[in-house]
Chain A
Amino acid sequence: EAGVAQSPRYKIIEKRQSVAFWCNPISGHATLYWYQQILGQGPKLLIQFQNNGVVDDSQLPKDRFSAERLKGVDSTLKIQPAKLEDSAVYLCASSPRTSGGTYEQYFGPGTRLTVT
């Protein structure tokens, strides 16, 4: 079974530039998540999709971040314009629909963003 794919793996941009990250979840997984992980901290949820609908984006800085999941499969996360504090690893994860309260997330390798 193929895992969660992300690209690019690394990206260096200057502040005020734009950047986009792509995620392909595991086939059949209904739920997709984007996390931001700053060095030395745990992942912070930015947005959660259920199929192609947004379930939670309360921690997404909507003035500069946007995300979409077209057709309920692939997803893109965009930052426009980037700030120095956006330097982090951006992780994508997916999980299957489960019952009974249990869940397991499968994470991709992440995209390391450096804003200079």
Chain B
Amino acid sequence: LAKTTQPISMDSYEGQEVNITCSHNNIATNDYITWYQQFPSQGPRFIIQGYKTKVTNEVASLFIPADRKSSTLSLPRVSLSDTAVYYCLVGNSMDTGRRALTFGSGTRLQVQP
């Protein structure tokens, strides 16, 4: 299983940029890196996915170095509503079950006013 390691928690203030790093030293060649966001009492929500270099969408950027052993989720100018748990997953849709769908404990981001 492609195990991921993330910080347990992070604190930030409104308007700051937040970078959450995930380590995945045994990532496989065909694995993608996917980040989810989860608010209390809700299911996780897809944020962004990438394979290498940089991916950007309307809510976040994902930076992946050449060795792909880690990735960084970047949230620009966070607001109070970004307070949530963020999960990093590695896997490939051609894999099944536990190989592709192992969530770690996630990173609890707390944004202060």
| Physical interaction between A and B | yes
Q: Using CB atoms and an 8 Å cutoff, list the residues of chain A in contact with chain B.
A: 4, 33, 35, 40-45, 48, 50, 55-59, 91, 93, 95, 98-110, 112
| Chain B residues positioned under 8 Å from A112 (CB to CB) | 41
Give B22 Cβ to nearest chain A Cβ, in Å: 12
User: A interface, by DSSP: helix, strand, loop or mixed?
Assistant: loop
CA of A95 to CA of B103, assembled, Å: 16
* Given A55-B96, A101-B94: A42 and B87 interface contact (C-beta under 8 Å): yes
CA of A98 to CA of B97, assembled, Å: 16
| Chain B residues positioned under 8 Å from A98 (CB to CB) | 93
Residues of B in contact with A, size category: 20 to 34
CA of A33 to CA of B101, assembled, Å: 10
- Structural contact, B30 and A101, CB atoms closer than 8 A: yes
What is the count of residue pairs linking A and B with beta-carbon distances less than 8 angstroms? Answer: 75
Q: Using CB atoms and an 8 Å cutoff, list the residues of chain B in contact with chain A.
A: 30-32, 34, 36, 41-46, 49, 51, 87, 91-94, 96-98, 100-106
- Partner among B46, B92, B102, B105 whose Cβ is within 8 Å of the Cβ of A105: B46
- Partner among A33, A41, A93 whose Cβ is within 8 Å of the Cβ of B105: A41
12 new A-B pairs (CB below 8 Å) besides A45-B102, A56-B98, A107-B42? A42-B103, A43-B44, A45-B101, A48-B96, A95-B93, A99-B93, A103-B34, A103-B100, A107-B43, A107-B45, A110-B41, A112-B41
- Structural contact, A43 and B103, CB atoms closer than 8 A: yes
- Structural contact, B43 and A109, CB atoms closer than 8 A: yes
| Chain A residues positioned under 8 Å from B43 (CB to CB) | 4, 91, 93, 107-110
Give A76 Cβ to nearest chain B Cβ, in Å: 18
- Partner among A43, A99, A104, A108 whose Cβ is within 8 Å of the Cβ of B46: A104
Q: List 29 A-B contacts (CB under 8 A).
A: A33-B101, A42-B87, A42-B103, A42-B105, A42-B106, A44-B103, A48-B96, A48-B97, A50-B96, A55-B96, A56-B97, A58-B97, A58-B98, A91-B43, A95-B93, A98-B93, A100-B93, A101-B92, A103-B92, A103-B93, A104-B46, A105-B36, A105-B101, A106-B46, A107-B42, A108-B43, A109-B43, A110-B42, A112-B41
